[in-house]
Chain A
């Protein structure tokens, strides 16, 4: 995979990062090196190997369907940068 400034811009936008022109150049080179390193995996023959979806062997970890005490609403709202009554107030997200 080729890393160019346009790809860096796309990834930065998905991650909500604002990059300076210098940042962009630096990331092109750093990401190119990282991807080249990981590319090595593509040289391995994995035919017949089951895809690993989780490093743990465990399966079926459930919790019972039981009501537990919830923290008070005020504790949750304490993290709100801004609020109106019991709601988190955020910048407008629709037209």
Chain B
């Protein structure tokens, strides 16, 4: 609005430092803001408040796993700036109705409308820009870097990283060079990458385009391009290439900011353990298989749920198996996430104890879990109400085993003729008779005794 003056939001400054620390950056003890001057309709005051020569932080790194290989991506800097308005370039579709092309849906391309639209709702909102060094060589590496970055930002509580809401966006620079060459080629910047998948596609397309230009004897122009998800290609974004002359100068409306080492340490101390470190701890201290540890730590909520369970019952592998197996299945089927799952850690642990303590079978446990999710009751109550306690005494199981043997003469003959596989079908029949409540090892032993005799 005309006449409005800027004031920095304290949380934006602290979250920026928190993100920078999570990315192992050096924090500037003194930082300031600058005006970046340019005319574009997303910015009606014709300058963006940004940081030029003394950014909030510099020189960090993030370790990324690319198909089992470790890649260290260096962070050049992370600085605060204000967001600009959101530009929409309506597409004229068949029938001539302009429609927002941001979603990248279907529709028949009939050219652009003769205007652009601006939504100013996010202008002036604090934005942290994280710039890497040119350390990624393939679209896959860029994809994995962003995945790791998103995890760190979510973990550290800096952002929900919801790309649909624009809380994480990315612009990708790419250049090509002849094999063996040490110097990077001229780069282009691609915008409008609203998913990681689009990013990988756009980079692959843009690199191929540059190679074609160079092989035809042409020259790559340093420019900003726009990814068009419908056409699957990048196109020059600005109608004519602007000379980049932003004429930065110190922002007179904001005084500088200083932070003491003690304050930096206070923010660092409040950082949660990062996913890579947590994953390593789950493997080394809790004895989880690396694959399980990785899946558990991808989502901070899931990792914390798991840790709450382990704190109540020191059975990490059993708990991990439940979480990554049946609990995840229940969540997927019912579109729940770990935060909205009605079964809280203490309740899940009760179920795990019932199974580990052999009071109910694993098979019955699955049904009890479903019932817990649906009814919100605790495991013990469900087991009691439905009479689901494990049958683990030979006296109760004997008659059932006899009945199954009598009704399955063919399987008995097969087994005695040497087809050992027939045994598992008989075990299955006993489980069916007992609705999964029979203790499987005991059933196997009883069957073997009776068949062998």
Chain A residues engaging chain B, CB cutoff 8 angstroms: 10, 14, 16, 53-56, 58-65, 71, 75-76, 79, 84, 86-95
Q: Which of A53, A63, A76 contacts B256 (CB 8 A)?
A: A53
Interface residue ranges of B86-103 to A (CB < 8 Å): 87-89
For residue A58, which residue of chain B has the nearest CB?
A: B255
Q: Is the CB of A62 within 8 A of B7?
A: yes
A76 touches B120 (CB 8 A): yes
Chain A residues in 8 Å Cβ range of B119: 86-88
Contacts of A16 in B (CB 8 A): 39
Q: Nearest Cβ in chain A — how far from B96, in angstroms?
A: 15
Q: Do residues B236 and A95 form an inter-chain contact, with CB atoms below 8 A?
A: yes
CA distance A64 to B14 in the complex (A): 12
Assess the A92–B115 pair: CB atoms within 8 A. Answer: yes
> How far does the alpha carbon of A88 sit from the alpha carbon of B41 in the complex, in Å?
9
Q: Which of B223-262 contact A (CB under 8 A)?
A: 226, 235-239, 243, 245, 247, 250, 252, 254-258
Q: Is the CB of A92 within 8 A of B256?
A: no
**Complex Cα gap A89–B115 (Å):** 7
A-B CB proximity, top 5 nearest = A65-B11, A87-B117, A62-B10, A90-B41, A63-B7
Contact call A95/B32, Cβ cutoff below 8 A: no
Asked whether B235 lies within 8 Å of A95 as measured between CB atoms, the reply is yes
Point out the residue from A60, A87, A92 that lies within 8 Å of B112, measured CB to CB: A92
Interface size on B, residues (CB 8 A): 44
Q: Give every chain B residue within 8 A of A79 (Cβ-Cβ).
A: 1-2
Residue numbers in A under 8 Å from B250 (CB-CB): 53-54
- Which chain B residues border A64 with CB–CB below 8 Å? 9-10
A56 to B115, CA, bound (A): 43
Which of A14, A55, A59, A93 meets B41, CB within 8 Å?
Answer: A93
Closest Cβ neighbor of B226 among chain A residues = A94
Knowing that A60-B255, A65-B9 touch, tell me 9 more A-B residue pairs with CB under 8 angstroms. A53-B250, A58-B255, A59-B256, A64-B9, A65-B12, A79-B1, A87-B88, A87-B119, A91-B115
Could you tell me the distance in whole angstroms from the C-beta of B53 to the nearest C-beta in chain A?
9
Across the interface, name the chain A residue whose C-beta is closest to B14: A65
Distance (whole angstroms) from the CB of B128 to the closest CB of chain A: 15
List the B side residues contacting A76 at CB < 8 Å. 1, 120
**Which B residues form the contact surface with A (CB < 8 A)?**
1-2, 7-13, 32, 37, 39-41, 54, 85, 87-89, 112-120, 226, 235-239, 243, 245, 247, 250, 252, 254-258
CB of A90 within 8 A of CB of B118, answer yes
CA of A93 to CA of B54, assembled, Å = 32
Known A54-B250, A65-B9; contact A88-B89, beta-carbon cutoff 8 A: no
Q: How far is the CB of B8 from chain A (nearest CB, A)?
A: 6
Partner of A61, one of B116, B120, B252, B255: B255
Q: Are A88 and B8 in contact (CB under 8 A)?
A: no
10 A-B Cβ contacts within 8 A? A10-B243, A53-B32, A59-B258, A65-B9, A65-B10, A65-B11, A86-B119, A90-B116, A91-B41, A92-B115
Question: Is there contact, CB below 8 Å, between A89 and B255?
Answer: no
Cross-chain contact A63 with B10 (CB below 8 angstroms) = yes
- What separation, in Å, do the CA atoms of A21 and B13 have in the docked complex? 48
| Alpha-carbon gap, A56 to B2, bound state (A) | 24
Q: Name the CB-closest residue of A to B40.
A: A93
Residues A93 and B8 in contact, CB atoms below 8 Å apart: no
Cα of A75 to Cα of B3 in the assembled complex, Å: 14
| CA A93 to CA B43, docked complex, whole Å | 13
Residues of B within 8 A of A59 (CB): 255-258
CA distance A10 to B209 in the complex (A): 32
B1 near A60: Cβ-Cβ < 8 Å: no
- Min Cβ gap B116→A in Å is 5
Q: Which residues of A contact B8 (CB under 8 A)?
A: 61-63
Instruction: Determine whether the beta carbon of B116 is less than 8 Å from that of A91.
Output: yes
Which A-chain residue is minimally distant from B252 (CB atoms)?
A54
Q: Is the CB of A93 within 8 A of B239?
A: yes
**Whole-angstrom CA separation of A65 from B11 in the bound complex:** 6
- B226 CB contacts on chain A under 8 angstroms: 94
The CA of A90 and the CA of B42, in the complex, are separated in Å by 10
Residues of A within 8 A of B258 (CB): 59-60
Interchain CB contact under 8 A, B117 and A14: no
- B-chain residues with CB within 8 Å of residue A93 when the two chains form the complex: 40-41, 87, 89, 116, 238-239
**A92 touching B236, Cβ below 8 Å:** no
Note all chain B residues with C-beta closer than 8 A to A58.
Answer: 255
Q: A54-B256, A76-B120 are in contact. Are A94 and B32 (CB under 8 A)?
A: no
Q: Are A60 and B239 touching (Cβ within 8 A)?
A: no
* In the complex, chain B residues whose CB is within 8 Å of the CB of A71: 1
**Contact of A94 with B9 in the complex, beta carbons under 8 Å:** no
